[in-house]
Amino acid sequence: MGKRALEVKRATYRRIRSALLTDAERMFLHNNVVYEGSPYHKRSPGDFGLIPPASPRPDKTLCDEAGIEYRSTAIELLARAIDGGLVSDGTEPNSFPKQLWVVDDQGRVFEAMYGGSRAGCYHGYPIRRTDPLFKQVSAAWKGR
């Protein structure tokens, strides 16, 4: 798949919902979401309790490079994403958004993606500045 086709695919599947989460949706997510890291986004598993993949994928962004070295930091970012209310149009079963986004204090954009070992699990990773979604999320985060 070419670079342009990949950009179109990403934009198609990752669309920011026009409305922020309601208070009820935020409460539901805070009560039911669990962070579950992914080894594909860690060079060094640190205190995440993950085993690095046998064949790492070079296209994955790394949390380590964005300064996320501790599980507690990742959990805080996920909670901040819920509080910020910036989510995708698509939802998974049981009303979980497919993606949540957050911008940290340094202006780095992170995406939390639904999926894991059980319902309510999310893993997260930084979005590259070259990804078209980076600017969209940054602007939407400022405007919320």
Rounded Cα distance between 84 and 20, Å, is 8
Compute and round to an integer the Cα radius of gyration of the chain.
15
Q: Of 100, 96, 97, 98, which Cα lies nearest the Cα of 82?
A: 100
pLDDT in tens, 57-90: 667 776 667 777 788 999 999 999 999 999 998 7
Give Dmax over CA atoms of the chain in angstroms.
42
Is the pLDDT at 140 greater than 90, yes or no? yes
Rounded (10°) angle between helices 71-84 and 23-32? 160
Which residues make beta-bridge pairs with 103?
109
- The domains of the chain are located at 3-143
Q: Which two tokens stand for residue 144?
A: 């919320």
Q: Are 80 and 110 in contact (CB under 8 A)?
A: no
Instruction: Give the per-residue pLDDT at 56.
Output: 55
Instruction: Give the per-residue pLDDT at 2.
Output: 61
